[in-house]
């Protein structure tokens, strides 16, 4: 078989996954078939129901990117403050990082060479 990928512990076969995926889709389709079909289009039956309140416009309704994962960023505020600090957008700083990392690598390699 050209699909079985042997790794150290086990094997990996996408075909099995695809078969499983197809089976799940068939089950989903079965449940979907059991739904109501008698509703009338373009009436109140097909409209969004929000506890009887007025439904906002499409632009108001959409959750924009800035509001997603608010809690995640709130929790990791400290981390983000730290990690955003080097991202200054100034080209001079970029080169400073390059010089620093090169210097560190040279020192590490030289010390590792001395240890032998």
Partner 1 sequence: MAALITHSPILIIAIPLLAAFLTLPIGMASKKARNALVIVSLTFVAFLVFALARDISINGIHIYTLGATSPDLTTPTGFMVPVRIILEVDGMSILMGIIWSIVSLAAAIYSLSHIASETGQNRFYTLLLLMVTGGFGMMFTGDLFNLFVFLEIASISGAALIAFRTRSADTQEGGFKYIVVSAIAGLMVLFAIGLLYAQYNLLNIGALAQVIQYTTLDKIALALLLIAFAMKTGMVPLHLWFPDAYSVAPASITGMLVITSHACMYAAFRVCFTLYGGVIDAPVVGWILIVFGLLTMFVGVTMAVYQKDVMRFMSYHAISQLGYMWVGVGVGLAVLGNPALLATYGRDAISGGIFHILNHAMYKPLLFFTGGALFHYTGTRDLTKMGGLAHKMKWTTILYIIGTLSISGIPPLNGFSSKILIYESVFRFNPILTIIGIIVSILTLASFTKAFHSAFMGAELPEYKEGKEVPKSMIIAMMILAAGIVFITLFPSLIVDWAIHPAADALIDQGAYINAVTGAVP
Partner 2 sequence: MDHIPFNFPFLAAALLVGVSFYIIIFKKNLIKLIMGVAILAAGVNLFLVSLGFRAGGAAPIYTNVTEGPMVMPVPQALTLTSIVINVAVLALMLTMVIHIYRHTGSLDSEKSRKMKG
23 makes contact, choosing from partner 1, partner 2, none, with CB < 5 to 8 Å by partner type, with none
**Would you count residue 88 as binding partner 2 (CB under 8 A)?**
yes
**Would you count residue 90 as binding partner 2 (CB under 8 A)?**
yes
76 makes contact, choosing from partner 1, partner 2, none, with CB < 5 to 8 Å by partner type, with partner 1
DSSP string, the chain: --S-EE-SS-EE-HHHHHHHHHHHHHHHHHHHHTS---PPTTSGGGS--STTSPPPPHHHHS--GGGTTHHHHHHTHHHHHHHHTT----HHHHHHHHHHHHHHHHHHHHHHHHH-
61 makes contact, choosing from partner 1, partner 2, none, with CB < 5 to 8 Å by partner type, with partner 1
Q: Which is nearer to partner 2, 37 or 87 (CB)?
A: 87
Q: How many positions of this chain bind partner 1 (CB under 8 A)? A: 53
Q: Binder to partner 1 among 26, 40, 72, 85 (CB under 8 A)?
A: 72
């Amino acid at each position: 078989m050209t699909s079985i990928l042997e790794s150290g512990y086990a094997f990996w076969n996408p075909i099995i996954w695809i078969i499983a995926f197809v089976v799940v889709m068939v089950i989903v389709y079965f449940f979907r078939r059991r739904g109501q079909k008698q509703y009338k289009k373009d009436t109140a039956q097909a409209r969004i129901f929000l506890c009887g309140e007025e439904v906002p416009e499409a632009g108001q309704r959409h959750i924009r990117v800035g509001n997603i994962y608010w809690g995640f960023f709130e929790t990791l505020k400290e981390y983000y403050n730290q990690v955003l600090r080097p991202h200054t957008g100034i080209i001079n700083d970029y080169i400073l990082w390059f010089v620093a990392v090169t210097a560190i690598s040279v020192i590490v390699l030289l010390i590792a060479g001395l240890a032998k």
